[in-house]
Amino acid sequence: MSTVYVVGGGLAGLSAAVALAEEGARVVLYEAAGQAGGRCRSYYDAALGCTIDNGNHLVLSGNYAIAGYLRTIGAGSALVGPERAQFAFADLASGERWTLRPNDGRLPWWIFSAGRRVPGTKPWDYLRLAALLVAGQARRIDEVIPCKGALWERLMRPFLLAALNTEPEKASAALAGAVLRETLAKGGRACRPRIAHPTLAAAFVDPALAFLAARDGLVHLGQRLRRIVLDDHHAVALEFPESTVPLSPDDMVVLAVSPWVACELVPKLTVPDEFHAIVNAHFKLAPPAAAEPMLGVIGGTAEWIFAFADRISVTVSAADAIVDQEREALAALLWRDVTRAHKLGAALPPWQIVKEKRATFSATPEQAAKRPKSETSWRNLLLAGDWIDTGLPATIESAVRSGQNAARLALARGAV
Concatenate the DSSP letters of all residues of 302-357 into one string: --EEEE-SS-EEEEESS-TTTTTS-HHHHHHHHHHHHHHHHT--PPP-SEEEEEEE
Q: Which of 204, 234, 212 is nearest to 397 (CA)?
A: 204
Give the β-pairing of 294-298 and 87-91.
parallel
Instruction: Name the nearest CA neighbour of 297 among 313, 285, 275, 277.
Output: 313
Q: Which CATH architecture has domain 3-43+60-77+199-273+365-412?
A: 3-Layer(bba) Sandwich (3.50)
Q: How far apart are CA 100 and CA 91, in angstroms?
A: 13
CATH architecture of 275-361: Alpha-Beta Complex (3.90)
Eight-class DSSP state of 373? P
The structural domains of the chain, with segments of one domain joined by +, span: 3-43+60-77+199-273+365-412, 114-190, 275-361
Q: What is the mean pLDDT of residues 107-121?
A: 98
The mean pLDDT of 126-145, rounded to a whole number, is: 97
State yes or no: pLDDT of 218 exceeds 90.
yes
Q: Do domains 3-43+60-77+199-273+365-412 and 275-361 have the same CATH topology?
A: no
Residue 414: per-residue pLDDT: 87
Higher pLDDT pick, 197 / 238: 238
- Dihedral sign (CA 339, 343, 347, 353): negative
Q: How far does Cα 135 stand from its chain's mean position?
A: 23
**Local structure of 52: helix, strand or coil:** strand
User: pLDDT-derived band of residue 181, with 50, 70 and 90 as boundaries?
Assistant: very high
Average pLDDT of span 223-234: 97
At 416, the pLDDT band (50, 70, 90 cuts) reads: confident
The share of the chain scoring above pLDDT 70, in percent, equals 100
Helix (H) or strand (E) holding 361: strand 351-361
pLDDT at 209 > cutoff 90:
yes
Strand partners, 227: 239
List, in sequence order, every beta strand (DSSP E) within 362-397.
381-383
Quote helix, strand, coil % in the chain, to nearest 5. 30, 25, 45
Amino acid at 18: V
Per-residue pLDDT, 207: 98
Residue 415 has a pLDDT of: 82
pLDDT at residue number 131: 98
pLDDT at position 93, please? Answer: 95
pLDDT bracket for residue 104 (50, 70, 90)? very high
The whole-chain average pLDDT of the chain stands at 97
Separation between Cα atoms, residue 358 and residue 320, nearest integer Å: 9
Q: Judge whether residue 122 has pLDDT over 90.
A: yes
Cα separation, 228 vs 238, whole angstroms: 5
pLDDT at 286 exceeding the cut of 90:
yes
pLDDT the model gives residue 318:
98
Give tens-digit pLDDT for 40-80.
999 999 999 999 999 999 899 999 999 999 999 999 999 99
- Omega before 267 within 30 of 0, i.e. cis: no
Q: Does the structure show a pLDDT above 90 at 360?
A: yes
- Do the Cβ atoms of 370 and 272 come closer than 8 Å? yes
Average pLDDT score over residue span 340-367: 97
Report the alpha-carbon angle 256-262-264, nearest 5: 155
Distance CA 283, CA 268 (A): 44
What pTM value is reported for the model?
A: 0.97
